[in-house]
Amino acid sequence: MNVLRALAALVLLLMSAAPLRAADQTLVEGPLTVVVPESVGVGQPFVAEVRLVNQVEKVTAEWQGRVVEVLMSKRGREFRGEVLLAAGLEVQPGSHSLVVEAVRPARREMVLGKIEVTPTAFPEQRLNLPPSTVTPSKENLARIKREQALIAKAMNEAGDRRFWSFPFLRPVPGEVTSAFGLRRILNGQPRSPHTGIDFDAQKGDPVHVANQGKVILTGDFFFNGLSVFIDHGQGVVSMYFHLSAVSVRTGQHLERGQLVGLVGSTGRSTGPHLHFGMKVLGQSVDPMPLFTAGGPFDRRPGG
């Protein structure tokens, strides 16, 4: 009886100590093993871990219609690699396919997995802003269109070459003042959801790049103000908005933690703060899990 009770207490303790994370599933096909979560909430990033017992030419992962190469490295007697994927804000809840393929000179192995994307209940946020910024003028609409095309072009040019590695670094130390995914009502009108997170910061505070990468775009945009876009490779892009100064130029290579600019309140902003956004394979992702100590993304390269 007492043994049972102690056991139950231990199970409860273990459950409460475990980070919030869905159970993993292990998919095996011959020498190829893939470990991914069974389910992911809308807006959440996740990692696909790939293991192989023999050398291959190339490993690719296909998710949401996009294909990325998985970089493999020898670890002990096997080859291992990992790729950062996400159920972006734009993804519909339901069962989604993940295909991982290993190509060898004579043959190929393929693993087909199903990941359940579950709905996330994002809270509502009501904001009052100057009417001219909520309903832009004709001229500003033309400007916004031009800027959207520029941003889309830069995103398309983001490369496959992987620069990022764990861990990701929080760009400023401040608290989150506006969470990812908030359903925003501006001056009483429903608008697009918050695709990044707002960090509390003072004007002039340094902003650091979250990981190694290459600057793909800088500029002064109608909504985002002074902005920096960074390609971390394999479809991972980070964005830093409303800056008061930009310290980098397009094409520049940055080490993790390098200065990208200073906090400001440029563009459509109610006061100094850093809006930090992240895209994975073109979809908006909540970056907070990447910064959470002790969480599933808190790991070192080779760990």
What residues line the site for Zn ion (CB under 5 A)?
Answer: 198, 275
The least CB distance from residue 277 to Zn ion, in Å, is 8
Distance CA 59, CA 70 (A): 5
Distance CA 175, CA 198 (A): 8
Count other C-beta atoms under 10 Å from residue 100's C-beta. 25
Q: Spell out the residues 6+ positions from residue 259 whose beta carbon is closer than 8 angstroms to its own.
A: 206, 207, 208, 209, 247, 248
The least CB distance from residue 57 to Zn ion, in Å, is 42
User: Which residue minimizes CB distance to Zn ion?
Assistant: 275
The least CB distance from residue 178 to Zn ion, in Å, is 5
* Residue 35 vs residues 51, 162, 166, 231, 302: alpha-carbon distances, Å: 9, 20, 17, 26, 16
Query: Of 214 and 275, which has the nearer Cβ to Zn ion?
Result: 275
Query: Of 37 and 287, which has the nearer Cβ to Zn ion?
Result: 287
Query: Of 162 and 275, which has the nearer Cβ to Zn ion?
Result: 275
Q: Which residues, in sequence order, are bridge partners of residue 261?
A: 207, 246
Distance CA 197, CA 194 (A): 7
Query: Of 82 and 198, which has the nearer Cβ to Zn ion?
Result: 198
DSSP state of 264: B
Query: Of 275 and 279, which has the nearer Cβ to Zn ion?
Result: 275
The least CB distance from residue 198 to Zn ion, in Å, is 4
